[in-house]
Chain A
């Protein structure tokens, strides 16, 4: 009952927001999180939820959090956000690309609530976007993959053919090729972010075709289990997936949203929140490389760590020329690095990748 009273109080306060001139009043800041998967997915949503827990731990009773899991993209997402806004959320994190239009639409109805949309590109006065440069982590994975493959075949489980996924494929391929000029990469599109049976099937299909290193851009640990069974190598995605270390999982990309979430909630408390576009990588710590296990030879591990550090310090950009597009047309000249505009809308493979981007 106490909670309901509190909710009502917070709600009543936020309904009167204009009277407070846009500040959130004296109560705790209420932060809402809309998740596309279950918090136990062990990957994408799990890491966002870790961010929520970090916010709670950092602010204690100065913050109140709510979340909703497995929210379909579309009309249901709009309702989830509206519900949070009605019940007094001050800031709402919408953590999937497909929430883009719903976020913009709900944000227009609640000008005093701050919205943070992950991986999208539409912003408004009260809508920020944020994403991580996962392709930086992919470069490190690609390097390890190129060195570790014995069959010279690596496989990639891709979700949807959107720029974020294509960047990852390109980055992994470029660095695998640098480490091992004979490497070939097969890509399987599964059209889902989270579907353990489908992901497992994709992993098995790749392995049946002679692939001995599996990379994934989907959120479940099903490919890890498939890799373990077949005795091939895999990488944790979005989350460390360390329960599969030291083999098959030899390293991972970890999304670390906690510092960003804490900073944004702090900005709401301070009244300094502004609409921004954040795209951080290894340097600021939004992308972390999970521990490289002893299954990887020491020299390869050292190279991978050096690559990670070079990217983190800004000394090296994963998309550095000379690079051609898949059709052989030149993209980047010697020493030239890709600009963010091209990366954000990336819809082409680099030279050497077999197959076509479906559309």
Chain B
């Protein structure tokens, strides 16, 4: 008889081993899937995990990894603070959209003025503020009326998507666009553009912000009283209350920080890689970041690594589609397996397997 026995304390070794094992298990199961589809599994796995980093066109893909990982890391860092404290912001996608709209609106309002020193910083502020305020809605509703922030923040994503469509078709629509939806392209407006800092590197201000966020959040969690309070509240809400941590204040802080970071990610994306406010501007970074946060064990460095891994599966997955004809759905299934195996293997962090020799009735 095999049974699971709860560990007295979560195993640290397993906590760090499971992501790696999950990746390995995904490779094996994914390889089987690809073989079943008639593709050479080793070739597909190599195309996904190796070629973007060290293959022939890595000079291009490495930059794209930064472009893709930047927003994921930035959002996931914010989310992880809340997740540690037991504050569940599931609506980062909405905050990302609102940050992009607010930031882009500020930039477009100044068009065609050429004062980058003024306009771009104001856009960054507006982007962060937009995400912050959108996250305050579930925050205040929770602290005032005790609503569930999971539900409210998630549903606000759909509200934000409607506002996005309205903006793309109405107030922010490009006057030169012949009636088509979509704002002016911010990349063609130098004062507002979030260009690559070094051409071809993929490095833009959003990626810089993501790295800064990783460092700051690490410092916060290890050196600052707020970080201590966050961890305490997550580990034991009662103990936190006795220690004088105001639960309401903590909820607002966690939602506010994660909202602001998601808003920043949206602003940097709309002014950079995406270029314009459009109906389909958001592509799910806010939701994928939740996976990244957990894959990275809610640890800043882990999140950074997880962000790159996730970006790799996207970029390598696209390459496998385009060069090897692997169907898009197979790549999505492959990404899904990663989360599935992680969750399944996570059991090992809290439980251990015991082989029971006694017979049972």
Which residues of chain A have a CB within 8 Å of any CB of chain B? Answer: 1, 3-4, 7-8, 11, 32, 38, 66-76, 78-80, 82-84, 86-87, 97-98, 101, 105, 121, 160-163, 191, 344-347, 358-359
Is there a chain A Cβ closer than 8 Å to B357's Cβ?
Answer: no
Complex A-B, nearest 5 residue pairs according to Cβ-Cβ distance, in ascending order: A75-B273, A347-B179, A74-B274, A69-B328, A72-B283
User: For B43, what are the chain A residues with a Cβ–Cβ distance below 8 Å?
Assistant: 1, 4
Q: Which chain A positions have C-beta within 8 A of B319?
A: 83
| Given A4-B43, A69-B328, A74-B273, A79-B323 contact (CB < 8 Å) | no
CB contact under 8 A between A98 and B280, given known A69-B327, A70-B328, A86-B60: yes
9 pairs, CB–CB < 8 Å, chain A vs chain B: A66-B325, A67-B321, A74-B281, A98-B182, A101-B275, A162-B179, A191-B165, A346-B179, A347-B179
In the complex, which residues of chain B have a beta carbon less than 8 angstroms from the beta carbon of A358?
166, 169
Residues of B within 8 A of A346 (CB): 179
Q: Are A161 and B181 in contact (CB under 8 A)?
A: yes
Q: Report yes or no: B324 in contact with A79, Cβ–Cβ below 8 A.
A: no
CA distance A344 to B166 in the complex (A): 22
Q: How far is A266 from B187 in the complex, measured between Cα atoms in Å?
A: 35
Beta-carbon contact of B322 and A80 below 8 Å? yes
| B185 adjacent to chain A (CB < 8 Å) | yes
Known: A72-B280, A97-B180. A359 touches B321 (CB 8 A): no
Known interface pairs A66-B323, A72-B280. Does A38 touch B328 (Cβ–Cβ under 8 Å)? yes
**Chain A nearest CB: distance from B64 CB in Å?**
6
B280 nearest in chain A by CB position: A73
Query: Judging by beta carbons under 8 Å apart, are B275 and A74 in contact?
Result: yes
Interface residues of B (CB under 8 A from A): 43, 56-57, 60, 64, 67, 165-166, 169-170, 173, 178-182, 185, 187, 269, 273-276, 278-281, 283, 315, 318-319, 321-325, 327-329
B322 touches A87 (CB 8 A): yes
Q: In whole angstroms, what is the CA distance A87 to B43 when docked?
A: 16
Q: What total count of A-B pairs have CB within 8 Å?
A: 98
Query: Contact at B325–A345, with CB atoms within 8 Å?
Result: no
**Minimum distance in angstroms from B344 CB to a CB of chain A:** 27
Q: Does B324 lie within 8 Å of A3, measured CB to CB?
A: yes
| 4 further A-B pairs in the complex, CB-CB below 8 A; given A3-B324, A162-B180 | A11-B56, A79-B67, A160-B279, A163-B178
Chain B neighbourhood of A8, CB < 8 A: 56
Q: Is the CB of A83 within 8 A of B318?
A: yes
Chain B residues with CB below 8 A from A7, complex form: 323
Query: Does A68 lie within 8 Å of B278, measured CB to CB?
Result: no
A32 CA to B57 CA, complexed, in Å: 17
Residues of A within 8 A of B318 (CB): 68, 71, 76, 79-80, 83
A44 to chain B, nearest CB (A): 15
Are A191 and B279 touching (Cβ within 8 A)? Answer: yes
Which residues of B lie under 8 Å from residue A82 when comparing CB positions?
Answer: 60
Separation in Å of the B109 CB from the closest CB of chain A?
19
Complex-state Cα separation, A234 to B181, whole angstroms? 28
What residues on A are CB-neighbors of B170 within 8 Å?
359
Residue of A nearest to B275 (CB): A101
Which of A69, A105, A161 meets B321, CB within 8 Å? A69
A38 CB contacts on chain B under 8 angstroms:
327-329
Q: CA A162 – CA B166 in complex, angstroms? A: 13
Return the chain B residue nearest A72 by Cβ.
B283
CA–CA, A41 to B275, complex, Å?
28
Q: How far is the CA of A98 from the CA of B279 in the complex (A)?
A: 9
Residues from chain B with Cβ under 8 Å of A74 in the complex: 273-275, 278, 280-281, 283
Residue of A nearest to B284 (CB): A72
CB distance from B20 to the nearest CB of A (A): 27
Question: Would you call A83 and B283 a contact (CB within 8 A)?
Answer: no
When C-beta atoms are compared, the residue in chain A nearest to B171 turns out to be A359
Cα–Cα distance between A175 and B58 once the two chains are bound (Å): 55
Bound: A87/B278 CA distance, A: 29
Across the interface, do B60 and A68 meet the contact criterion of CB distance under 8 Å?
no
Cross-chain contact of B181 among A4, A70, A160 (Cβ < 8 A): A160
A345 lies within 8 A of B169 (CB): no
Please name all residues of chain B whose beta carbon is closer than 8 Å to the beta carbon of A121 when the two chains form the complex.
178, 180
Check if A76 sits within 8 Å of B283, measured CB to CB. Answer: yes
Q: In whole Å, how far is B276's beta carbon from the nearest beta carbon of chain A?
A: 7
| A83 vs B274: C-alpha distance when bound (angstroms) | 17
* Chain B minimum-CB-distance residue to A70: B328
Residue of B nearest to A4 (CB): B43
Chain B positions within 8 Å of A97 at CB level: 180
Residues of B within 8 A of A163 (CB): 178-180
Q: Which residues of B contact A69 (CB under 8 A)?
A: 321, 327-328
Assuming the A-B contacts A74-B275, A74-B281, A78-B273, are A68 and B322 also in contact, with contact meaning beta carbons closer than 8 angstroms in the complex? Answer: yes
- Bound CA span A320–B321, Å: 46
* B residues less than 8 Å from A105 (CB atoms): 187, 275
Indicate if the CB atoms of B328 and A87 lie closer than 8 Å. Answer: no
How far is A186 from B274 in the complex, measured between Cα atoms in Å? 34
Chain A residues with Cβ below 8 Å from B283 are: 72, 74, 76
- What is the CB-to-nearest-CB distance from A224 to chain B, in angstroms, rounded to a whole number? 22
Q: Across the two chains, which residue of chain A brings its CB closest to B329?
A: A38
Closest residue of A by beta carbon distance from B185: A101
On chain A, the residues within 8 Å of B179 by CB distance are: 162-163, 345-347
Contacts of B323 in A (CB 8 A): 3, 7, 66, 87
